[in-house]
Structure 1
Amino acid sequence: MKQKIFTKKYYEELEAKLGENMPKYTDPNFSWEEEAKDNIIELDFEAPDLSGMLDYADSHEAKDDGKAAKILFLAYHNLTPLQAAQRQFWQYLSHITLYEYMRRRWPTINEANCPESYVKEHWFYGSGLIRNCLEGMYWSVKCSAIDKGNGEYDFTYTDFFFSIQKIRDRGIGAATFIMSNPALVRGMLKFYMDELKKQENNKSKRDDEPKEDTVFDKFFEYRTDKCIQLVNKLGGVVDLSTYTESDIYEFLDSNREYIKSVGDRKKEKKEREAAQNKEQKNAINIGNHKQNRKHKKRKK
């Protein structure tokens, strides 16, 4: 059976009419294939078997998302860049071919009071490409897997990418300027992996043994955010498309002391807010004191 996709017009209508279509989404028996039958076209290659993804549909573990993502990627690793960029391709999969996977992976859709924002985020692009389930999974593997040739891939970086949800959802995966360049993704992942390995090695050492220097001895989320900010600033000075995996790794390594300077942002925020509140109270007290003095002078 040939691979099928929605027409571009039908996909755009789906996105535009999401609100009025919500009763269809929350109805597990509704058939998008039946409704879209006049808006489906065939491509020139056979549709692959994606049934293996259902083995991971009921899990909310990041690593199981990674296993399903590898099945999806390997099924479509020969997609052209144009095909992979067509949103109607992914929407056909999420509404028809992998509709059962989607409904089980994101089960709130089966509830009558499922919010529109939930469908917008996981079926469409409410929070960016990576949060869109299927296309985000595909590109996460595409940018992290190393092609060994003959259809074989090294998924070392991919497995790590999917092992920590925050890196993919709100870290590297949320930075489109990084995700557009696989070399940047792999270089940053290698840096993270090596630094975390040092941290693990340190845990096994005795107190009297020297510890390896690592930027992730604490505040992992905040310091990975700083890595992304540094790369973003670098992109304002140089053409990041010319950077290799090693280049970006060495750049982060050369800035390790600056990355380590990042502390507990939540604590720092509370301290700033407390200081601001204290300043405001002092200003109010000074203002009240001046008014009282003026009032006393008038009485005299």
Structure 2
Amino acid sequence: MAGAAGGLLAAAVSRAGGVGMIGVPSSPAEQWIDQQLEEVKSLSTPWGVGFMGWAVEDNPEPVEAFLSHGPAVVAISFGDPTRAAALAREAGALTAMQVGNTADLRRALQDDIDLVVCRGAEGGGHGRNEAGTLPLLQLAVSSTRKPVIAAGGIGTAHGVAAALAGGAQAVWVGTRFVTASEATGHRNIKVAINAAGLDDTVYTRAFDIAQQIPWAPEFGGRALANDFSDQWAHRIEELESVADEALRQRMVRARTEADVQMAPFYAGQAVAFSHEEQSAAQIMEDLAGYRAILADAARRFA
């Protein structure tokens, strides 16, 4: 959610009863950090912040900057969480880690991680493409007494109900909020996501290779399919051989201009449930319908 989930969205979600998360880019400017903190520092409700593990292993300064303002949750994923997790726990924050396979789960079960986030391949943005949300959730809840959070492909009240019935203590919803009125990003992104359906995403490393972003090969990204991904998503070795500074500049320009046919618009399969721009509070109200769904199921199967 880096690029969409800033302080404004996090604050809106937290005020609506959730725990809003700020997605931190790999190299955040000090001014950007200050702007996001301005939105959340006066909240009386919990909020959190998420980091790319590989980006903060050698530079924990962004972690320290956010910790100075008291986030309730710090998520460190996609890399070694050890150093950032130690800082977070010392500051009194809960630590979370996304898992996408059994090796990730084993790491998340170590003592420095408090919350296990089962992020299935259905999820948008970066992550593994090895297992779905439901199998991961079942494995995690049978392996630990730690709180387990389900993530990936959840975009409706029925999805929330299914995850909670499956043993999750909470759900992590991303794609539904990318088009929220409080989400940052170009309007082209929101229009494209609201127009997309279940079959309109692709998992690929092509966008990262074109931009020369140092994501580890095991962490591709799920984004809306477009002309660029149609051409290169399944020709990764060839793309690696031809990617150059000219292509990188073209991709940077495409992202700046929100060019829907070249730039990556990260979103998961839950695009199927996003059809119009809503406020974060409206989305939260919609998702809260899980209570009635679970109550009805309890009556029917009692």
TM-score range (shorter-chain normalised) is under 0.3
Q: Which has the larger radius of gyration?
A: 1
Larger strand share, 1 or 2: 2
Larger helix share, 1 or 2: 1
Using structure 2 for the length normalisation, give the TM-score: 0.25
